């Protein structure tokens, strides 16, 4: 036996059926789901299962659910060699990013997967996704797990979870990681890119962070955004952190009202992070005149981080009371491989 795996079912299309008399999908119980994949019994590992008491469509996901997942992993950490989390695809990249920050010193695999079609569907993508995710979670070399990070497996590729974004609502290839190559590709063989794998290379015990700050927000810039709208959102009384999705390499309007609002909230202590709304590439503040002023007033560079990783990293750093003076440095540093520093 290659090892013991804990399969955690949180919900999502993978385990859904059409409800009686309607076309709407709703979650069904985990036993039924497993009965649909007898192939799992053929794998060279022992699988135990645990399910959320109320499996949910991942659009309902919130930080409390991330805490629940992290706690399940923590409570079973010593007993299992790896963890596979079944999750809806809609917010899977947010969860993968959040878990990567919450699980400090992780040295076992935590692989998220799901599917575009329910497991009972003839053309389902669930079987391949689930079976390969379990195989990846049980991969071992020199008596150690090969993967020691939070990954996301979908349609023949394992990605670093905090580098992913859901890019397609219809196709089986629903995820992309534009700024970091896949860790493993699954063809006739599983090809592992060992040089890309995250390894904190320490012996420190797992530390689980469950305090996440929710008073954060994301504003996407668009040509024509009005001062009233921007000010209204950004000046929300209790805001602690704001991610702005700017254009290209981190550019935004140089209009005075925009800079004034940002400066005022930064002076008040709100952390503002600049990420690009492009699917790939990085923020490089100061490259164009339109981002120089952002740099000057103290906006933090998200570099090539995804929006999903940026907002969850913010929740994590603020929840763990990162000192104000260190927030910028911590944000611009790769903590779990979520960004390329330079
Ligand atoms: N709405 C579903 C969810 O995210 C879609 C999926 O499972 O892929 O839970």
Nearest-angstrom CA–CA distance, 93 and 88: 10
Give the pLDDT of residue 93. Answer: 98
Cite the DSSP H helix spans in 281-332: 289-296, 307-319, 324-331
Tell me, in angstroms, the distance from the centre of ligand 1 to residue 45's CA. Answer: 27
Q: Which of 4, 10, 13, 185 is catalytic?
A: 13
| pLDDT score recorded for residue 23 | 75
Q: Is 173 exposed, middle or buried (0-12, 13-18, 19+ CB in 10 A)?
A: middle
CATH 3.40.50.720 is held by the domain 4-208: no
Buried b (16+ CB within 10 A) or exposed e, 146-166: bbbbbbbbbbbbbbbbbbbbb
- Compute the CA torsion angle 293, 296, 302, 307 (nearest 10 deg): -50
Ligand 1 atom with the smallest distance to the CA of 13 is 7
CA distance 292 to 64: 38
Cβ of 57 below 6 Å from ligand 1: yes
For ligand 1, the distance from its centroid to the CA atom of residue 113, given in whole angstroms, is 11
- Give the pLDDT score at 82: 97
End-to-end CA distance of the chain: 42
pLDDT of residue 26: 66
Which residue ranges in the chain fall short of pLDDT 50? none
Task: Give the pLDDT confidence score for residue 288 in this predicted structure.
Answer: 84
Q: In the CATH scheme, what is the code of domain 216-331?
A: 3.40.50.40
Looking at residue 1, its pLDDT comes to: 58
- Quick check: CB of 10 below 6 Å from ligand 1? no
Please tell me the predicted confidence (pLDDT) of residue 121.
Answer: 84
> What is the C-alpha radius of gyration for the chain, rounded to an integer number of angstroms?
21
Ligand 1 pocket mutation pick from 9, 10, 11, 13 by most atoms within 8 angstroms of CB: 13
Structure tokens at 328: 């910028």
Per-domain residue ranges of the chain: 4-208, 216-331
pLDDT value for 301: 97
CATH topology match: 4-208 vs 216-331 = yes
Q: Tell me, what's the pLDDT at 235?
A: 92
Give the pLDDT score at 166.
98
Concerning whether 254 is annotated as a catalytic residue, the answer is no
pLDDT at residue 127 in the model = 92
Three-class HEC string of 142-159: CCEECCCCEEEEECCEEE
């Amino acid at each position: 036996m290659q090892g013991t795996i804990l399969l955690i079912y949180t919900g999502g299309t993978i385990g859904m059926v059409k409800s009686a008399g309607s076309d709407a999908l709703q979650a069904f119980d985990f036993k039924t789901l497993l009965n649909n994949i007898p192939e799992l019994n053929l794998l060279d590992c022992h699988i135990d299962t645990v399910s959320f008491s109320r499996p949910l469509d991942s659009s309902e996901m919130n930080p409390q659910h991330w805490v629940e997942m992290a706690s399940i992993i923590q409570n079973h950490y010593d007993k299992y060699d790896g963890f596979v989390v079944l999750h809806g695809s809609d917010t899977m990249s947010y969860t993968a990013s959040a878990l990567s920050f919450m699980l400090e010193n992780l040295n076992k695999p935590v692989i998220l997967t799901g599917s575009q079609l329910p497991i009972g569907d003839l053309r389902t993508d669930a079987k391949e996704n689930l079976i390969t995710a379990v195989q990846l979670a049980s991969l071992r070399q020199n008596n150690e797990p090969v993967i020691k990070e939070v990954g996301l497996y979908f349609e023949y590729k394992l990605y670093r979870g905090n580098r992913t974004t859901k890019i397609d609502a219809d196709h089986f290839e629903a995820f992309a990681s534009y700024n970091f190559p896949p860790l493993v590709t699954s063809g006739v063989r599983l090809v592992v890119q060992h040089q890309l794998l995250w390894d904190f290379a320490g012996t420190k015990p797992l530390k689980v962070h469950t305090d996440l700050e929710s008073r954060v927000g994301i504003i996407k810039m668009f040509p024509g955004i009005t001062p009233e709208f921007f000010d209204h959102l950004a000046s929300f009384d209790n805001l602690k952190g704001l991610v702005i999705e700017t254009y290209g390499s981190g550019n935004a309007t140089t209009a005075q009202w925009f800079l004034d609002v940002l400066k005022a909230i930064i002076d008040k202590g709100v952390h503002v992070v600049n990420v690009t709304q492009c699917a790939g590439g990085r923020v490089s503040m100061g490259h164009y005149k339109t981002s120089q002023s952002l740099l000057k007033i103290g906006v933090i560079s998200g570099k090539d981080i995804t929006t999903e990783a940026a907002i969850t990293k913010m929740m994590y750093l603020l929840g763990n009371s990162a000192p104000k003076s260190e927030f910028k440095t911590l944000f611009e540093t790769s903590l779990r491989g979520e960004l390329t520093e330079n």
